[in-house]
Structure 1
Amino acid sequence: MAFRAFHLVNSTRLAQFTRQSSRQLARTASTSQCSPSFPCVDAHAARESRLKATSRTSSSTSSVHHSGSGPEPAYARPNPTSYNIYHHSKPLPLTYSSTPLLTFDIAYETWGTLSPKRDNVILLHTGLSASSHAAATSANPTDGWWQKFIGPGKALDTNNFFIICTNVLGGCYGSTGPSSINSETGRPYATTFPILSIFDMVRAQFCLLDHLGIEKLNASVGCSMGAMQSLAAGWLNPDRVGKIVSISGTARSSPSSVAMRYAQRSVLMADPNWRNGFYYDSLPPHTGMKLARQIATITYRSGPEWDQRFGRQVRPRPESEDPSSQRIPALCPDFLIETYLDHQGEQFCLKYDANSLIYISKAMDLFDMTLPALESLGLNPPPFSSSSLHTVPNQTSSHSKSHPPPLNPPPHLSDLARGLSPLAHIPTLVLGVQSDILFTVEQQREVADALRMAGNEGVSYYELGGVWGHDTFLIDVLNVGGAIRGFLS
């Protein structure tokens, strides 16, 4: 009984205290001039409202929605009239599908003049989300994504070479991808689009080359995912590729890069607007795309650059803001590095198709040129015995960064050398960046070592310093451009 009485008394006091606290909090809230503000969250809501308004306007004038109509943005940037379209009307066999892709389009742009023998062609491969617009053209004078590397006297010298750049299969800038209309249904493919491989993308590019009457490339050049394509081009068609340039790429995706791309796809697919990929007649997953881009941006640069560029500075507060709150941290972007990531996400989230990002990033994850991986896909290189493996020499020439050769190469390196055997007679430039955290410099050494083990005596290997990380291939015109120009000359 005593315990019960004690419990009742304390329960009563607790109830009285709770009521008093609630009244006090209510009075505080009513008198306070500050209420929680989350402009970063409000920005997502405002964007969604704009997209819904666009949807209502479009639905009153059209009963069918697809890319370019309704709230879903048109992904054909730059303007479709500024690039060429090659339509392939024959089935394209695919690596992971028993059913071929019946037809497809490839968007492409060109620079320079094709020689009478058609032997001065460079095929330029893009990264994950780039369009075919690598440099300005008469049809589209705006700067391209590799503007400073293409032109007279530049790394890809248009006085000597005819450069072709395509939007990859699976993309959304003119080439066939998940946002394209499936002729059998009259609706976008969405996630009924087949899983792609890097090899599928390259096969589609060679269909274009066949159409243009180009039998052999002077060089296959690529950065990032483009470096994967560049190696794949030489592997698939060793007699049709004169030289290979692989910049900040890899011959097999590492677990760390797979993990980062998986995180991007996860936040994108968790966006309720994604709807298992069927969002083309509704709102696109813009919030998921923004977050995915923020994750990606972290991998594109480096910590030392963040220190130099932003440090621990916070954003300037508006003068209209209450001075007493100037020193109170914000839950939305506050540090300059946060505002930079926020800006990068905002710029990207409606410019690229979410499904294209998912499909192409998955193709990067699946890329593995070791012999067992290739054989598991039915992709068999020419016979290559273990006795054909060469010891990796210690490179000390002026054009090759020295690093200790593997005295006892791990099994995966021997497997990679066997897988890369079709490239044994193709001169190859491998260029890496010491601050790259997405495709680490160790992966560039691995490619160079494997090629040399396979018997390739024409490997030129460079390591660049600097703080720009993976994006060095877009920024360091002097060193990246110089290495390419010297290798191609």
Structure 2
Amino acid sequence: MGDARRYHSLSSPFRMKRGGELHGARVAFETWGTLAPARDNAILILTGLSPSAHAAANAEDPTRGWWDDMIGPGRAFDTDRFFVICVNSLGSDKGSTCPASIDPATGEPYRLTFPELSLEDVANAAHEAVTGLGIDRLACLVGCSMGGMSALAYMLLHPGSVRTHISVDTAPQAQPFAIAIRSLQREAIRLDPNWRHGQYKGDEWPEHGMSIARKLGVITYRSAMEWNGRFARIRLDPDERDENAPFGFEFQVESYLEGHARRFNRQFDPNSYLYLSRASDWFDVAEYGEGDVMRGLARIHVDRALVIGVSTDILFPLEQQETIAKGLEAAGAGVDFVALDSPQGHDAFLVDIENYSRAIGGFLRKI
């Protein structure tokens, strides 16, 4: 099926969009399927903020991946036909160089001396990994959530390197609501006394801040429809409550969020979270179009594109995906726009596998 986590060494120095550079940096990636002799069957997947490159099980790592039911023989990303690559974002602590990595100049972790990170840097690092595999042109570039913005940057910065594109639950620029939520998430981490201006270590970990950040994220990743359907106003059983805790958890939805936060804590480096979160806020296709999003999108040239959005997504609203679809179409691409009514909100692409498989598999069978 392919290789488990592998690494691509980035050019050194690797220069960053907002100034600064990295030396001896790398990105982690995994692959599935076989690269054709002509090297023309590669699909690159760029992830959301927190996932690793382990999108699906493979021979070296049989554990389930975050998009396991989408990748494999006969699945939407058919590995009998395509060579699928997933690259972990530069700045993520899932194997790529990030704020928790050792700075070769000091022998200490970068922490907040890590250069300011943009999604353009994420895109350039992924492009280096792809060209390092000997691939000049991708059959398809796929971007989910934050990765969808990174994918737009990839196509803007490397024209001609992508034949077709699949845009999943993303946006051409961060809107005020998304920026506001991410700002609160970062504030929760920064105000945790254990954050210590990024100098946390060992047992001194900003767990409360990360917990609140994760809860805010989970709330916005799902829809009000789903919260109502799953939890209504159901209260916890008396033995599940801490009667001695002032204002303690009383409703099932509170307990659910706490469980999510606990599973996330210690699983993601807080400084990496801060850097990637802010990079998402900064990204704006309008920078490439003299302040106009549509003019920026007009600079992206692919043969075909599939743009998928969800009507219940409050973080990346459907109208933002409509903008991407219109922009790519105006630039000459044949565009399929799919608006799903999945109740799961922004997280639908991880949950509503049936509908996403139908749309993505159908699109890829035509390219």
Same fold (TM over 0.5): yes
Deviation at 1:281, TM superposition (A): 5.6
SS, match of residue 249 in structure 2: coil
Deviation at 1:89, TM superposition (A): 4.7
Task: Give yes or no for contact 2:46–2:143 (8 Å, CA) kept in 1.
Answer: yes
Q: Does 1:95 align with 2:17?
A: yes
Q: In percent, how many aligned pairs have the same letter?
A: 42
Q: Aligned to 1:180, which of 66, 82, 101?
A: 101
Q: Does 1:351 align with 2:228?
A: no
Q: Aligned to 1:201, which of 122, 128, 131?
A: 122
SS, match of residue 22 in structure 2: coil
Matches within 5 A, 1:15-30: none
Q: Does 1:485 align with 2:351?
A: no
2:302, 2:110 → 1: CA distance? 40
Unmatched segments (≥5 aa) in structure 2? none
2:333, 2:85 → 1: CA distance? 28
Q: Aligned to 1:245, which of 166, 183, 191?
A: 166
Q: How many residues align?
A: 363
1:151, 1:452 → 2: CA distance? 30
Matches within 5 A, 1:327-366: 331-366=247-282
Q: Looking at both structures, which has the greater relative contact order when contacts are Cα pairs under 8 Å and sequence separation is at least 6?
A: 2
- The amino acid of 2:274's aligned partner reads I
2:11, 2:121 → 1: CA distance? 16
2:201, 2:91 → 1: CA distance? 16
1:238, 1:102 → 2: CA distance? 26
2:256, 2:246 → 1: CA distance? 15
- The amino acid of 1:342's aligned partner reads E
Matches within 5 A, 1:330-479: 331-370=247-286, 373-374=287-288, 415-453=292-330, 455-479=331-355
Deviation at 1:222, TM superposition (A): 1.4
1:106, 1:222 → 2: CA distance? 17
- The amino acid of 1:87's aligned partner reads S
1:131, 1:444 → 2: CA distance? 24
SS, match of residue 290 in structure 1: helix
- The amino acid of 1:223's aligned partner reads C
Bigger radius of gyration, 1 or 2?
Answer: 1
Deviation at 1:280, TM superposition (A): 3.3
Q: Does 1:260 align with 2:260?
A: no
Deviation at 1:263, TM superposition (A): 0.4
Deviation at 1:452, TM superposition (A): 2.9
Deviation at 1:331, TM superposition (A): 1.8
SS, match of residue 178 in structure 2: helix
Deviation at 1:102, TM superposition (A): 2.3
Deviation at 1:429, TM superposition (A): 1.0
Runs of 4+ in structure 1 deviating by more than 3 angstroms, as ranges, are none
Deviation at 1:191, TM superposition (A): 0.5
- The amino acid of 2:207's aligned partner reads H
Length-normalised TM-score, structure 2: 0.94
- The amino acid of 1:189's aligned partner reads Y
1:473, 1:466 → 2: CA distance? 9
SS, match of residue 299 in structure 2: helix
1:212, 1:127 → 2: CA distance? 23
Deviation at 1:93, TM superposition (A): 1.8
1:185, 1:136 → 2: CA distance? 37
SS, match of residue 218 in structure 1: strand
1:456, 1:315 → 2: CA distance? 55
Deviation at 1:330, TM superposition (A): 6.7
Unmatched segments (≥5 aa) in structure 1? 1-80, 377-411
Task: Give yes or no for contact 2:143–2:166 (8 Å, CA) kept in 1.
Answer: yes
Task: Give yes or no for contact 1:238–1:426 (8 Å, CA) kept in 2.
Answer: no
Q: Aligned to 1:157, which of 78, 100, 109?
A: 78
2:15, 2:239 → 1: CA distance? 58
SS, match of residue 172 in structure 1: coil
Q: Does 1:228 align with 2:104?
A: no
After superposition, the CA RMSD in angstroms is 2.0
1:336, 1:424 → 2: CA distance? 48
Q: Aligned to 1:299, which of 217, 220, 229?
A: 220
- The amino acid of 1:83's aligned partner reads R
Q: 1:361 to 1:141 in 2, by over 3 A?
A: same
- The amino acid of 2:14's aligned partner reads L
- The amino acid of 2:13's aligned partner reads P
Deviation at 1:343, TM superposition (A): 0.7
